[in-house]
Structure 1
Amino acid sequence: MVVFMEKQAQPLNKMGTQPVQKLLITMGLPMIISMAVQAIYNIVDSYFVSKIEGIGDEAMNAMTLAFPVQMLMVAIGVGTGVGINALLSKSLGEGDREKASRIAGNSIFIGLCMFIIFFIFGIFGTKTYVLSQTKDPFITDLTSSYLRICCCFSLGVSMYMTFEKLLQATGKTMQSTIAQIAGAVANIILDPIMIFGWLGLPKMGIAGAAYATVIGQFISFFMDAAFHFKYNKAEFSTSLRYIRPKLKIIREIFAVGIPAILMQALMSFMTYGVNIIFAQVSAEAVTAYGVYYKIQQFVFFAAFGMNNAMIPIIGFNYGMGSSKRVKDGIKYGMIYTIAIMMIGAVGLQIFAQPLINIFTLSDKTHELCIAAIRIITLGYIFVGANIAYQGILQALGKGVHSLVLSAVRLLIAALPAAWILVQTAQDYIWAAFPFAELLAFIIALFMMKSVDRKVIKAIPERETE
């Protein structure tokens, strides 16, 4: 009875009261804006690196080779964050303040462990990793220098992603957006200063880009942490005593988080695999893929912003036991995500040429980038549906289903298709990506049919609106 009264006394969270159609927009828009700013910073980062005198193409190639490890850092942070987000929002929906406090504290502990792992890799593993993709000594040195800085100072990225998810799980998306924008803007400002040696600083080249990146990440970390301790205390205790690890809580976080980590990490593995496969075509093909990837982040990040809004909304209402609100979250989340991808596909088709012209690239790399945009965007409607399905499955506790879907998209279909096209039709190597998305979409339809029958229809018809 005491526990029941504690739960009933919890203040109503907007995720359980506001109309879902509106809520997805009000929560998703700040995330979309923040991720769009993140994409802009990635573009600006690459722009300045491409302008390094005499080595623009080589520097861009180095960043492409380093990118899988950076993506892996993000994958572990985001994937763990999915577990945090789903478990925390569900606990809040159930009114369990004590468990929510322990989830938040253990999340910070996990973030610190992430940093230690990548710090050790930065000291001992970067050179071996780079040599697995290229034997060019100059590019090896460039990549190792850049990557070592990013890994050894990865406390910023690991902790900012942790606090960001804690804010998002309680609906504080505006605060997390402000922090992310502040870090991205700082990165953009510092890039030319540190790369080219402005304002009396030494000219650091590609290492300057790495330092600008980690400084921006630390700014986001400090701001997210400040917002967390100020605003989330209304939802649960933010006391640092909850950092003490609890195996049961960590196990629950990773029950959803490990499939999500693996799912996010698949993008890193795919990029690593694509780098190796496309190297059989040319170094320009590898660089072109890296440039295309930075450009497509404008669209993908917007879709994942909506995905990040769907997960806590669906998870909260699933925990609260509201069938209608769960179904509304699925319906409108799918509609909005597909719309974002279709608008992005049209925009990239129209503006492919001016977007590629931003970078200083060789003629061959430029031509390959245009071909990548023209072909890959044809599959964006399937990308939108697949991203939405991944978020839906995660929110409903079906992390393994989401992992399988992501594995088909990024590894099981994409890499073999890319390898076959490299051997048989090199002009169409980019077609591997829309093919993989189509296959994953078909599989997702069968998955959701089963989940709808076993999970969604089993939710009690208890409405709050």
Structure 2
Amino acid sequence: MDRQKRLGEEPIGSLLLKFSVPAIIGMMVNALYNVVDRIFIGNIPDIGKDALTGVGITLPIMTIIMAFGMLVGIGTATAISIRLGQGKKEEAENILGNAFVLLIITGVVITIVGLLTMEPVLNAFGASEVTLKYAKQFIQVIFIGSIFNVMGFGLNHSIRADGNPKIAMFTMLIGAILNTILEPIFIFVLHLGVRGGAAATVISQFISMLWILNYFTRGNSILKLRVKNFKLKKEFIISIFAIGISPFAMQLASSVVQIISNNALRNYGGDVSIAAMSIISSVAMIFMMPIFGINQGSLPIIGYNYGAKKYERVKEAVKKASIGATAIVVVGFLVVEIVPHFVITIFNSDAELVRVGSNGLRIFLFMLPVVGFQAISANYFQSIGKAKMAMFLSLLRQVILLIPLLIILPIFFKLNGVWLAGPISDVLSALITAIVFYKDVKALK
């Protein structure tokens, strides 16, 4: 059966497995970039805790870089899926070509702006005199290779929209395996320290990018990168940005949260609490990346069937995706509540960090079980092209609720106030999302 035709005809459960499992593996592999960085950097002799804090300071910047990859990447993938569902292959190929150019421009701008503003930005993001050095060493290398990051991450979404989720998975797998091999060599064997960790990440992202470009030029892709489609066209740019603005805004919001959080942590808990949050973020990422994988896998299924007006298949896809997502986050909840000390010591065994981190981990991720449904529901609106609602629901958890809580709660509960902001925001956003989602789904006819 034709790869695109099967989106509208094969059983939804089978499609979700075919598309989401590779995407989940791919996203888990993608999470390893940051998690492996933190594990190896956190275990550098003598400087591990301070270096881990420094890398934690750069997290908002890493999030912003990923945001631009999502703006173009997810916007492109959704636009392509909908047009393929409508039978407009040539227009989908035009969008892919425009996305390629947009990602190049984005990567170059990030490199230039990042290198020029690095130190004041890191200071504003919560760096101290001790941790600034390590933060600069790490993020400088990341900025230099940012074009590989946004290009690989952005175009990988389009491979799934092209109907080839396994290739998308292998793309991330290649990069993550290479990163895991290079990290200890660069950090411990070549004694490059924090810079070595960043260099391993950049080299791995470069290889992933080459793999993707080969797929869209010489591989068996339905859509091809053609020079004639590199000329930017207003209607395609608007189409990409209109849909991609929701995950972009969510990621930017996440970076704002990280900045506010880092400063609150520094004020109420010192550098050790920032190191703890760096670990907590890595742990949360391990369990959230599968949810993003389910979202990516379901995106072309929902988008295609919505474009083809097969609404019962749309509903079934969302329902089954929500069940799978909830199962994953419940497992994550059990892990962080039962063995928090063990989780923290994987990154660093400093007694104070283990104590602060374990307490923060259990509180901050206490409402993890409701996050799966909230994320899938927001993705539903994104998949069908309702960018404004998708953006609202995404911002609800990351900005509208979380930022005020991060500002207000520490005033009364000090460091615990920072940790409490997470679960309160999670449960309130899930309740509001449920109301909006069920109302919209019932209207599908």
TM-score by length of 2: 0.95
Within the alignment, does 1:64 sit opposite 2:64 as a pair? Answer: no
2:167 to 175, 186, 197: 175
Question: Which residue number in structure 2 is paired with residue 366 of structure 1?
Answer: 354
For residues 239-259 of structure 1, what are the alpha-carbon distances to aligned partners after superposition, in whole Å with 9 as ceiling and x for unaligned?
232121111111111111123
Name the SS for the 1:369 alignment partner. Answer: helix
1:278 to 265, 275, 284: 265
Within the alignment, does 1:311 sit opposite 2:288 as a pair? Answer: no
Question: Which residue number in structure 1 is paired with residue 245 of structure 2?
Answer: 258
Question: Which residue number in structure 1 is paired with residue 275 of structure 2?
Answer: 287
Equivalent position amino acid for 2:440 in 1: V
Shift of 1:330: 1.4
For residues 374 and 324 of structure 2, what CA distance do their matches in structure 1 show? 13
For residues 166 and 69 of structure 2, what CA distance do their matches in structure 1 show? 20
Contact 2:260–2:406 (CA under 8 A) maintained in structure 1: no
Name the SS for the 2:385 alignment partner. Answer: coil
**Stretch of structure 1 that moved more, 113-122 or 443-452:** 443-452
For residues 218 and 168 of structure 1, what CA distance do their matches in structure 2 show? 20
Question: Which residue number in structure 1 is paired with residue 109 of structure 2?
Answer: 117
Q: Following superposition of structure 1 onto structure 2, how do residues 436-455 of structure 1 map, counting pairs within 5 Å?
A: 436-454=425-443
Shift of 1:320: 1.3
2:385 to 353, 377, 397: 397
Contact 1:278–1:422 (CA under 8 A) maintained in structure 2: no
- Identity between Structure 1 and Structure 2 (%): 26
2:337 to 349, 362, 366: 349
Question: Which residue number in structure 1 is paired with residue 311 of structure 2?
Answer: 323
Shift of 1:12: 4.5
Shift of 1:348: 2.8
In structure 2, do the counterparts of structure 1 residues 59 and 24 end up closer, same or farther at CA, with 3 Å as the change threshold?
same
For residues 41 and 259 of structure 1, what CA distance do their matches in structure 2 show? 24
Equivalent position amino acid for 1:387 in 2: A
For residues 279 and 111 of structure 2, what CA distance do their matches in structure 1 show? 27
In structure 2, do the counterparts of structure 1 residues 450 and 231 end up closer, same or farther at CA, with 3 Å as the change threshold?
farther
Contiguous gaps of at least 5 residues in structure 2 = none
Question: Which residue number in structure 2 is paired with residue 130 of structure 1?
Answer: 122
**Stretch of structure 1 that moved more, 375-384 or 242-251:** 375-384
For residues 139 and 427 of structure 1, what CA distance do their matches in structure 2 show? 20
Name the SS for the 2:99 alignment partner. Answer: helix
Shift of 1:127: 0.8
Question: Which residue number in structure 1 is paired with residue 410 of structure 2?
Answer: 422
Aligned length: 442
For residues 280-335 of structure 1, what are the alpha-carbon distances to aligned partners after superposition, in whole Å with 9 as ceiling and x for unaligned?
11221111111111112111001111011121110011111111211111111111
Contact 2:149–2:202 (CA under 8 A) maintained in structure 1: yes
Name the SS for the 2:175 alignment partner. Answer: helix
For residues 285 and 213 of structure 2, what CA distance do their matches in structure 1 show? 26
Contact 2:126–2:262 (CA under 8 A) maintained in structure 1: no
Within the alignment, does 1:37 sit opposite 2:26 as a pair? Answer: no
Contact 1:119–1:152 (CA under 8 A) maintained in structure 2: yes
Q: Which has the larger radius of gyration?
A: 1
For residues 292 and 152 of structure 2, what CA distance do their matches in structure 1 show? 17
Within the alignment, does 1:406 sit opposite 2:398 as a pair? Answer: no
For residues 81 and 376 of structure 2, what CA distance do their matches in structure 1 show? 18
In structure 2, do the counterparts of structure 1 residues 399 and 273 end up closer, same or farther at CA, with 3 Å as the change threshold?
same
Contact 1:166–1:228 (CA under 8 A) maintained in structure 2: no
Question: Which residue number in structure 1 is paired with residue 369 of structure 2?
Answer: 381
Name the SS for the 2:339 alignment partner. Answer: helix
Name the SS for the 2:45 alignment partner. Answer: coil
For residues 190-225 of structure 1, what are the alpha-carbon distances to aligned partners after superposition, in whole Å with 9 as ceiling and x for unaligned?
1111112x2xx4x22111111111001111111122
Within the alignment, does 1:241 sit opposite 2:233 as a pair? Answer: no
Name the SS for the 1:378 alignment partner. Answer: coil
Equivalent position amino acid for 2:361 in 1: I
For residues 421 and 33 of structure 1, what CA distance do their matches in structure 2 show? 36
For residues 350 and 370 of structure 1, what CA distance do their matches in structure 2 show? 10
For residues 399 and 262 of structure 1, what CA distance do their matches in structure 2 show? 11
For residues 143 and 55 of structure 1, what CA distance do their matches in structure 2 show? 13
Question: Which residue number in structure 2 is paired with residue 76 of structure 1?
Answer: 68
For residues 414 and 42 of structure 2, what CA distance do their matches in structure 1 show? 25
Name the SS for the 1:288 alignment partner. Answer: helix
Contact 1:280–1:422 (CA under 8 A) maintained in structure 2: no
Question: Which residue number in structure 2 is paired with residue 194 of structure 1?
Answer: 186
Within the alignment, does 1:222 sit opposite 2:222 as a pair? Answer: no
In structure 2, do the counterparts of structure 1 residues 208 and 321 end up closer, same or farther at CA, with 3 Å as the change threshold?
same
Contact 1:157–1:218 (CA under 8 A) maintained in structure 2: yes
For residues 160 and 14 of structure 1, what CA distance do their matches in structure 2 show? 26
For residues 264 and 223 of structure 1, what CA distance do their matches in structure 2 show? 26
For residues 299 and 220 of structure 2, what CA distance do their matches in structure 1 show? 18
Equivalent position amino acid for 1:293 in 2: S
For residues 442 and 348 of structure 2, what CA distance do their matches in structure 1 show? 53
TM-score by length of 1: 0.91
Contact 2:265–2:415 (CA under 8 A) maintained in structure 1: no
Equivalent position amino acid for 1:280 in 2: N
Contact 1:79–1:264 (CA under 8 A) maintained in structure 2: no
For residues 118 and 35 of structure 1, what CA distance do their matches in structure 2 show? 23
Q: What is the Cα-based RMSD across aligned positions, in Å?
A: 1.7
Name the SS for the 2:267 alignment partner. Answer: coil
In structure 2, do the counterparts of structure 1 residues 131 and 393 end up closer, same or farther at CA, with 3 Å as the change threshold?
same
Shift of 1:101: 0.8
For residues 246 and 20 of structure 2, what CA distance do their matches in structure 1 show? 23
For residues 227-281 of structure 1, what are the alpha-carbon distances to aligned partners after superposition, in whole Å with 9 as ceiling and x for unaligned?
2334464x33432321211111111111111232112221111111111111111
For residues 173 and 387 of structure 2, what CA distance do their matches in structure 1 show? 29
